[in-house]
Amino acid sequence: MKGITRERIVAAALELLNDEGMDALTVRALASRLGVRASALYWHLRNKQELLDEMSTVVMRRVTDAVSAIPPSESWRDDVAAYARVLRAEYLRHREGARIFSGRRVSDPEIVRAKESWLARLTAAGFTLAEADDVLDLITAFVVGIVIEEQERTQSSPGRYSLAERDAWLGEGAELVKAAGHLRDQGDARFERQLGIVLDGLDRAGPRSPSSPSEVTDTRTGTGTAAVDLPT
Amino acid sequence: MKGITRERIVAAALELLNDEGMDALTVRALASRLGVRASALYWHLRNKQELLDEMSTVVMRRVTDAVSAIPPSESWRDDVAAYARVLRAEYLRHREGARIFSGRRVSDPEIVRAKESWLARLTAAGFTLAEADDVLDLITAFVVGIVIEEQERTQSSPGRYSLAERDAWLGEGAELVKAAGHLRDQGDARFERQLGIVLDGLDRAGPRSPSSPSEVTDTRTGTGTAAVDLPT
DNA sequence: ACCTGAACACCGTTCAAGT
DNA sequence: ACCTGAACACCGTTCAAGT
């Protein structure tokens, strides 16, 4: 009936985070949820930091797995959009997910190695390697930033204020701020629209001949873009 | 000689954060730094959460002040770029600044009201109000995401590994990932390049006639863009 | 191998008491 | 008005001891 294992501990920790929030995620509360004493967890984990690292790793592994399942299309734009949606969805699954799980060093090389096929896709689409790296980095940054903002609005603990309350709180003037607040949409629609803008920017910076791989040589690296060996 | 005030407490807390990191930012350590007992702080602050909120407010107020000092240019692109640089610079001032201080509810309406002049600038440049809101939101998200990543690499506590160590850690294969790691630049240059990409995207989504304000009416809101009254 | 029980140093917070 | 001293419940972590 017991069988406390690392995986079960981490899974329970992610549940506890969602149920009670980060402040309530204590070693003792976690142990109690697992029907065990706090000290028992220290046989499986070195300390609480290792638990948090493992939680991050699990979340990022889920991103990697979901992203690997995306079939390559003929459009890098669609592929990158799919990656962005998966990353957002996984962050959204966890309370404060973007803030907590972004920008953490991953302990599992397999997760970083998953970038390989994406770099291959993008270089095949005509990006230089340096550009392809920028694409992934920039999209990741965008998703992290927008989901942090999103989760502040939708998952913050206390009272969500209405637009009317906010208008009153803003006081006199600031009419554009108030009007913008009323125009503002949320959720998927807002995300898709802003994602489109970022992709437009990448499009412009990207492959010279959009549909077919170019022979252009990157002046910074001297690396041929279409001729790279793909280890896939 | 004493004179413990809210402002001094918050300033000392920001110092302590930079000196020792978030985990070491305890009420007791903060009190000790101020030459006072922990319980003394509770006369000035309701609880630790209020301290953290005040710290966020101070950081965001500095952003607002620095951003207000930016003279409007004839180019919305330059103005927005200047905002992005200021936001990044303020986050970079504080250890884990982007993670800690982004996506927090601001307690001071004056800070939110500072958005007014930016919305005015952007609508005057030909953006609809909804678009202008997107511009600021998207740029903010981008900066938050990229600085979180940046601070993980440059300010994380333990051993920074070299490229060679990372290559070994990655194991066999993943040649593109390794090559990209070696091509990767850091700091201002990387930021400016990626910022340019985002601005390109906003450019494309933006004003129909780039240099002069257009008469275009937003189909979503019916708000005339160039004819908005600017309370400034 | 896996967990308990007890202990340690430390934490945020409260509150009566001092000045 | 502003701070101290003492206390409370709780925290992460260690470790001898149990099975």
pLDDT digits (tens, 9 = 90+) for A6-42: 999 999 999 999 999 999 999 999 999 999 999 999 9
Which pLDDT belongs to residue B207? 82
Which pLDDT belongs to residue A206? 76
CA of B3 to C1' of D8 (A): 29
Is the CB of B2 within 7 Å of strand D?
yes
Q: Does A99 touch chain B (CB under 8 A)?
A: yes
Give ∠ CA B102-B105-B111 in degrees, rounded to 5.
Answer: 90
Tens digits of per-residue pLDDT, A168-219? 999 999 999 999 999 999 999 999 999 999 999 999 987 865 444 444 444 3
CA distance A224 to A126: 10
DSSP H helices, B21-107, are 27-33, 41-44, 48-68, 76-92, 97-101
Contact A102, A95 (CB under 8 A): no
Question: Please, what sign has the CA dihedral across residues B196, B202, B208, B214?
Answer: negative
Which pLDDT belongs to residue A2? 59
- Greater model confidence, B49 or B210: B49
Over 70: is that where the pLDDT of A114 sits?
A: yes
CA distance A221 to A141: 24
CA distance B11 to B120: 33
For every residue of A79-114, DSSP letters joined together read HHHHHHHHHHHHHHTSTTHHHHHTTPPPS-HHHHHT
CA distance A20 to A187: 23
Residues paired with B63 in a beta bridge: none
Is the CB of A26 within 7 Å of strand D?
yes
Over 90: is that where the pLDDT of B221 sits?
A: no
Query: What domains can you pick out in chain B, each with its CATH number?
Result: 1-45 (1.10.10.60), 55-226 (1.10.357.10)
Question: What is the rounded average pLDDT of the residues B31-59?
Answer: 98
Contact B214, B207 (CB under 8 A): yes
Q: Does B109 touch chain A (CB under 8 A)?
A: yes
Question: Would you say how long chain A is, in residues?
Answer: 232
pTM of the model: 0.90
Which pLDDT belongs to residue B225? 38
| CB nearest B142 (choices: A120, A142, A174) | A142
Give the chain B residue whose CA is nearest to the CA of A218.
B183
From the CB of residue A199, how many other CB atoms can be counted at a distance below 10 Å? 22
Tens digits of per-residue pLDDT, B151-193? 999 876 555 678 999 999 999 999 999 999 999 999 999 999 9
The residue written with tokens 């066999």 in the block is B172
Is the CB of A157 within 7 Å of strand D?
no
Closest approach of B223 to chain A, Cα-based (Å): 10
Q: Which of B222, B226, B198, B227 is nearest to B213 (CA)?
A: B226
Q: Does B198 touch chain A (CB under 8 A)?
A: yes
**How far is Cα of residue A122 from the mean position of the Cα atoms in its chain?**
19
Which pLDDT belongs to residue B215? 41
Q: Measured between beta carbons, which residues in chain A are less than 8 angstroms from residue B197?
A: 134, 138, 198, 201-202, 204-205
Q: Do A129 and B180 touch (CB under 8 A)?
A: yes
Q: Does B35 touch chain A (CB under 8 A)?
A: no
CA of B20 to C1' of C16 (A): 34
Contact B127, B135 (CB under 8 A): yes
Give the chain A residue whose CA is nearest to the CA of B139.
A142
Q: Do B177 and A123 touch (CB under 8 A)?
A: no
The strand C neighbours among A residues 2-21, by Cβ under 7 Å, are: 2-4
Residues 154 to 173 of B: which have CB under 8 A from any A CB? 156, 169-171, 173
- Greater model confidence, B204 or A222: B204
Tens digits of per-residue pLDDT, B79-137? 999 999 999 999 999 999 999 999 999 989 999 999 999 999 999 999 999 999 999 99
How do the residues of chain A divide into helix, strand and coil, expressed in percent and rounded to 5?
65, 0, 35
